[in-house]
A and B are shown apart, each in its own frame.
Chain A
């Protein structure tokens, strides 16, 4: 079974803190997707990566293919970062399908 594990499930941080959300998966992948789900339910794509590191503003995503692990970092966190962060992977043996983690619920307190 293809599984995607995220940790922690819930995270509360003070404004300004550095945040790390982790994602691990079980077998080789062709792509990993980080998404953000707003409190209202809308889902937006943050990063798509297959190796190395990507940065956009205060967000950084890294992936270690050998360890089958990815991290999403948020620097200088802000209350507007409060959301559910979802990791999804496309396995090499499943073609077009993504498999999703259950998400990490982040609350940033002013």
Chain B
């Protein structure tokens, strides 16, 4: 099993460009998450999908949209990239979602630079 995979690993964009970050999991998990990690700050939740067909905003959703394409895939879209969106993006998944002790499994991350 590959676990959680993300593409691309690295990306450089110019301000105003759009792009989609792809995430897929092969663990038959119900819930999926998108985080961003910035220097000196903890991981922050952008959006999550508790189950197929549902999405909810996290702590920092502005400037992003998401699609839960099917149970396996959860994509993050930047419609008009801004330098403030320069960050490392992590996708994660968990089996059950709202259960308190539900462990999250992380992808390898995408390093995005917006010039």
Contact = CB atoms under 8 A, between A and B. Distances in A.
Contacts of B43: 86, 88, 98, 100
Contacts of B106: 35, 42-45
Interface in A54-110: 86, 88, 90, 95-103
Contact of B104 (A30, A49, A98, A103): A98
Q: How large is the interface on B (under 10, 10 to 19, 20 to 34, 35 or more residues)?
A: 20 to 34
Interface in B70-115: 88, 90, 97-98, 100-106, 108-109, 111
A11 interface: no
Contact of B42 (A45, A49, A97, A102): A102
Interface of A: 4, 30-31, 33, 35, 41-45, 48-50, 86, 88, 90, 95-103
Which 10 pairs from chain A and chain B are nearest by CB?
A: A100-B42, A30-B100, A43-B106, A31-B100, A100-B43, A45-B103, A102-B42, A48-B101, A41-B109, A48-B103
16 contacts: A31-B100, A33-B103, A41-B111, A42-B109, A45-B103, A45-B106, A86-B42, A86-B43, A95-B98, A96-B98, A97-B48, A98-B45, A99-B59, A100-B43, A102-B40, A102-B41
